[in-house]
């Protein structure tokens, strides 16, 4: 089952004044636990980022009225009928930069991500 979340947006500071527009981010992870953790990390450590859509399913991301976002964070190991390359290229065609999260920094992983046009590959433990 895929999960789609509507985290909401906020562009006002505590005083009610407008603040600079945050970077709108979409998060696509293969598991709910990973989705929750990545979104929590972004919200806690990057106040300039607004997670406007988060989901465990590719179609839910691209069909969201909040898509395209400025940036899409994608799980390298997401099991989906659409290939990693297809997801990256579709996001880029819609105007979003793509950051891929992977447990592996192997040459093959890097090559696939770079060749498909992702802006960045972050490697290490994925929540």
Tell me the per-residue pLDDT of 70-116, one tens digit each, with 9 for 90 and over. Answer: 999 999 999 888 999 999 999 999 999 999 999 999 999 999 999 99
pTM score, two decimals?
0.83
Rounded distance between C-alpha atoms, residue 72 and residue 69, angstroms: 7
Residue with tokens 């839910």: 60
Q: Quote the pLDDT of residue 116.
A: 97
Domains of the chain: 21-123 (3.40.50.2300)
Structure confidence at residue 17 (pLDDT): 60
Q: Are the C-beta atoms of residues 101 and 76 closer than 8 Å to each other?
A: yes
Helix axes 107-116, 84-93, angle to 10 degrees: 30
């Amino acid at each position: 089952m895929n999960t789609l979340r509507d985290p909401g947006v906020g562009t006002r500071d505590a005083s009610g004044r407008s603040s600079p527009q945050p970077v709108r981010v979409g998060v696509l992870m293969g598991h709910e636990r990973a989705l929750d953790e990545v979104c929590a990390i972004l919200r806690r450590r990057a106040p300039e980022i607004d997670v406007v859509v988060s989901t465990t399913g590719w179609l839910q991301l691209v069909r969201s009225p909040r898509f395209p976002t400025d940036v899409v964070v994608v799980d390298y190991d997401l099991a989906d009928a659409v290939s990693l390359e297809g997801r990256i290229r579709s996001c880029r065609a819609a105007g979003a930069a793509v950051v891929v999260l992977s447990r592996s920094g192997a040459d093959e992983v890097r090559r696939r991500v770079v060749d498909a046009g992702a802006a960045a590959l972050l490697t290490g433990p994925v929540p």
